[in-house]
Structure 1
Amino acid sequence: MRHKPMSMEDLFKDLQGAKNNQEDPNNVALDKLFNGAFMKKYSNFDSFAAFLEKGNFQATTQAEINNLHEELFERYINRETKFNSWKSMLDTANSEYSPVN
C-alpha cells in the first residue's frame, strides 16, 4: 500500500508531536539524532527532513527507514553525506548524540 507523500510542514508537525512523549534513550527521534548541527557537519543539508525530501524518501521513524529501498538509500547516503552507509551514519549520530536536559 502506497502512502501519500507527506508535506514538509506535516513532517515537521509529526516529528515534533510524536516526540513530545518521554524520551527513551535507546529510541531517540530521528530529528533529534540527526539534528541540524549533525547534518551541517556531515552533509550539505540543514535538516534530516530536507535530506530525505531531496532524495524523495518518505520516512519519519527508524522502522520506516528500515523499509526504504536499501540499495537506493545507501547510494544516496554515500553521494550526499560524508558517510558510506546508513549504519555508519547512524552509528556516528548515536555516538555524538547527547540529550539536552
Structure 2
Amino acid sequence: MSETGLDELIDDLENMLDKARDLDGENDVIFSDIFTESFLKNHTGFSSLEDFADASRFDWTTPKSFEAIPNDELDIFVRKNSQFNSWEEMLETASSEYIQNQLGF
C-alpha cells in the first residue's frame, strides 16, 4: 500500500472512530431518521414513514400515543406490511442500518 493510501486509510479510521464516539451512550433519534425512505422502500410496500403510519391506522403523533398502541396489533401490521415478523425486529434492523450509515459503512 502506498504511503498516500495508508494516510487515507488512517484518516478514514479516525473519522469512523470520531463518529462512533458521537454515537456512544444515549442519543435522541427520531423515527424519520431511522426509518428512511430507502429503508422503507427496501423492506415494506411504503415509501415514507408517514405512509406506513397512516396505513396502520394507529396514532403515531406523540410518543405517548405511540406507546399506547397494543404491541400484538402493531406486530400484526408489521408482519402483513413488511419483511419483518415484529415491530421490534423492524426497529432493530432500521437502527442497525442507521448506525452503519452514521459510521460511514
Q: Into which bin does the TM-score normalised by the smaller protein fall?
A: 0.5 to 0.7
**Aligned mates of 1:41, 1:70 — CA distance in 2:** 23
| Amino acid across the alignment from 1:47 | S
Which structure is larger by alpha-carbon Rg, 1 or 2? 2
2:95 pairs with 1:94: yes
* TM-score normalised by structure 2 residue count: 0.64
| Amino acid across the alignment from 1:41 | N
Which structure 2 residue ranges, 5 or more long, are not aligned?
Answer: 1-24
Q: Deviations over 1:61-88 (max 9, x none)?
A: 5554322122111100000000001110
Which structure 1 residue ranges, 5 or more long, are not aligned?
Answer: 1-23
| Amino acid across the alignment from 1:35 | T
**Aligned mates of 2:43, 2:62 — CA distance in 1:** 20
Q: Deviations over 1:30-89 (max 9, x none)?
A: 011001000001001001110010111121455543221221111000000000011100
Where does structure 1 differ by over 6 angstroms across 4 or more consecutive aligned residues? none
Q: Which structure's relative contact order is higher, taking Cα pairs within 8 Å and 6+ residues apart?
A: 2
RMSD between superposed Cα atoms in Å: 2.2
**Aligned mates of 1:47, 1:60 — CA distance in 2:** 15
Give the total of aligned pairs: 77
Percent identity among equivalent residues? 29
| Amino acid across the alignment from 1:96 | E
